[in-house]
Amino acid sequence: MNSLLDEAWRLEPFVPPFRFSAFFSPEDTLLCVCAADAARCRLHRATGERFPIAELTSGSGLVGLRLLTDDSRATLLGLDVDDEAVEVSDQNARALGLKDRCRFARSDLWSEKTLRLLETEQPGLLVCNPPYVPEPPGTTMQIEAGAGAHGTGHLLRTLELAQLVKPGALALSWCSLSDPAAIVVGAERSGYELTDLYVAVIADGDYSGSVHSYLRDLDNCYINEQPETLAIVASDGAARFAYLLFAGAFRREVGSWKREVLDGKRDVADYTSQCAEFVRQMCEDFARDGMRAFTEHAVPASRFPHPASRISCPLPASRLHRYLLSRWDELELRVMLHGALP
Ligand SMILES: C[S@@+](CC[C@H](N)C(=O)[O-])C[C@H]1O[C@@H](n2cnc3c(N)ncnc32)[C@H](O)[C@@H]1O
C-alpha cells in the first residue's frame, strides 16, 4: 500500500514563512487537497471563464490557496470562525503572491452571513475540511478539532449550504470516527455523487486519543485497536487505536433515485447508496480486521469470504486511492511543513 507521503509534494509551497492557524495536523488537509484537485479537474469549464472557489472552515487557507496555484482562472473566498485564521490566511495569500485572487472573512458556518456570502459568490467548487472529533457531551474541545457529540455537524451543515447554493462540485473530508457513510448519503440527498475517494489509515492523535473511551461506545464509530494493526501504524508503540480518514470529490448530479423521490415513488429517508454502503463496509471490515481488511479492499468482491453480502467498489479502480500514514510518515510531513527543528 502507498504511503500518503507520496502525495506530500502537493504541500511543497506551504513551508515557512507560510503559517498555520491553531494546532495544525497536516494529514486530513493533505487528503482534502487531493480530493479538491480531483474535483477541480472534473469540472468542465469554458476556456477563460472565471472559476470561483469557496472554502469553508478554511483555517490557514492551504487547500484553497493550493487550488489557486494550479488554476490561474480560480478565485477564492475563504471563511472561518476564528479571527486568527482570517489574519493568517490573508498573510499567507500575500506571501504566495495570490492576494489579488482571494479574500478571507470571519464567518460562522451556521450564520446567515455565510449563506449570503456564498449566494453572492456562486462558487463552482465548495471545499470543506472541518473539525471532525466527536465531543463527549458536556465537554468542549479546541475549535480546530471539536465537532459536537456526533462529529458530523460541520459537514452536514456544509451539505445543507451546498443544496442551497448548488456549486458544480464539492471536496469534503471526514473520518471513520463519526458515521462515515452518512456523509456520502447526505451528499447524494443534497444532489452530489461521489466521483473520487481518498482513504488513509492513521493512528489516533492528541484530540481523538483524548476521547478514546467515548469513541468506543459511539454508534457508527469505527476504530481498530488490534496490536498487529497498531504495530504497522505506530511502530513507536504509542498508538491507542487506528482509524480511517476520508476525502471525496463529488459532482452535482440528479441521479435516478432522486428523480424517483421527486416523482413520489420512493421515500428519501429509505435511501442508501452503493457508495455509502461501500464506505460503511470498508469501515466495518477495518474495525474488525484492521490492516488486513484494508488491503483486501483492493481485490475484487468475489474473492472476499462472504461474496453474497459484499458490495464491490462502485468507483473505477483509478478513483479509489488508499494510503497508510504511519507515525514516522506523520513526523516527516510535520518537519517538512513546520521547518526542521533548530
Ligand atoms: C481541522 S481545521 C482545518 C483547517 C483547514 N480547512 C485545513 O485543512 O487546514 C478546522 C477549522 O474549522 C474552523 N471552524 C470550527 N468551527 C467553525 C465554525 N462553526 N464556522 C467556521 N469555521 C469553523 C476552525 O477555526 C479551524 O480553522
What is residue 302's predicted lDDT score, i.e. its pLDDT? 38
Q: Give the model confidence (pLDDT) of 1-33 as tens digits.
A: 899 999 999 999 999 999 998 877 889 999 999
Q: Is 38 left (phi over 0), alpha (psi -120 to 50) or beta?
A: alpha
CATH of the domain at 22: 3.40.50.150
Q: Which whole number is the average pLDDT over 330-334?
A: 90
CB 250 within 8 A of CB 186: no
What is residue 299's predicted lDDT score, i.e. its pLDDT? 46
Q: Which whole number is the average pLDDT over 192-201?
A: 95
Q: Give the model confidence (pLDDT) of 53-77 as tens digits.
A: 999 999 999 999 999 999 999 999 9
Work out which ligand 1 atom sits closest to the CA atom of 59. Answer: 27
- DSSP lists the bridge partners of residue 325 as 202
Q: How far is CA 338 from CA 5, 18, 26, 121, 232, in A?
A: 15, 9, 10, 33, 25
What is residue 301's predicted lDDT score, i.e. its pLDDT? 44
Going by C-alpha positions, the residue among 113, 172, 134, 141 that lies closest to residue 22 is 141
Q: Give the model confidence (pLDDT) of 79-128 as tens digits.
A: 999 999 999 999 999 999 999 999 999 999 999 999 999 999 999 999 99
Q: How far is CA 261 from CA 21, 116, 158, 160, 257, in A?
A: 43, 28, 22, 18, 6
Does 315 or 96 have the greater pLDDT score? 96
Here the cell at position 122 is: 456562486
Pocket test for ligand 1, best of 67, 80, 90, 175 (most atoms within 8 A of CB): 80
CB 327 within 8 A of CB 27: no
Here the cell at position 325 is: 500514514
Parent domain of 84: 4-338
Task: Kindly list the protein residues whose Cβ atom lies closer than 6 A to any atom of ligand 1.
Answer: 21-22, 29, 32, 57-60, 62-63, 80-82, 85, 108-109, 129-131, 143-144
Q: Cα of 263 to ligand 1 centre, how many Å?
A: 38
Task: State which of 66-70, 138-142, 302-306, 330-334 shows the largest mean pLDDT.
Answer: 66-70
What is residue 272's predicted lDDT score, i.e. its pLDDT? 61
Q: How far is CA 251 from CA 138, 187, 246, in A?
A: 37, 10, 16
Q: Give the model confidence (pLDDT) of 247-302 as tens digits.
A: 999 999 866 566 666 677 666 666 667 889 999 999 999 999 999 887 755 544 43
Q: Give the model confidence (pLDDT) of 203-217 as tens digits.
A: 999 899 999 999 999
Helices and strands (H and E) in the chain: how many? 13, 9
Work out which ligand 1 atom sits closest to the CA atom of 110. Answer: 19
Residue pointed to by grid coordinates 440528479: 254
Residue pointed to by grid coordinates 468506543: 216
Q: Cα of 132 to ligand 1 centre, how many Å?
A: 10
Counted domains in the chain? 1
Residue 52 per-residue DSSP state:
E
Q: Give the model confidence (pLDDT) of 139-167 as tens digits.
A: 888 888 888 888 899 999 999 999 999 99
Residue pointed to by grid coordinates 458490495: 311
Strands (DSSP E) contained in the chain are 2-3, 51-56, 74-80, 102-106, 125-128, 169-175, 192-203, 242-252, 320-325
Pairing, β 51-56 against β 125-128: parallel
Residue 80 to residue 45: CA distance in whole angstroms: 28
Residues 6 or more apart whose Cβ sits within 8 Å of residue 17: 95
What is residue 304's predicted lDDT score, i.e. its pLDDT? 39
Band of residue 313 on the pLDDT scale cut at 50, 70, 90: confident
Of all protein residues, the one whose alpha carbon is nearest to atom 14 of ligand 1 is 57
3-class DSSP state of 51: strand
Does 149 or 174 have the greater pLDDT score? 174
Here the cell at position 321 is: 486511492
Residue 34 per-residue DSSP state:
H
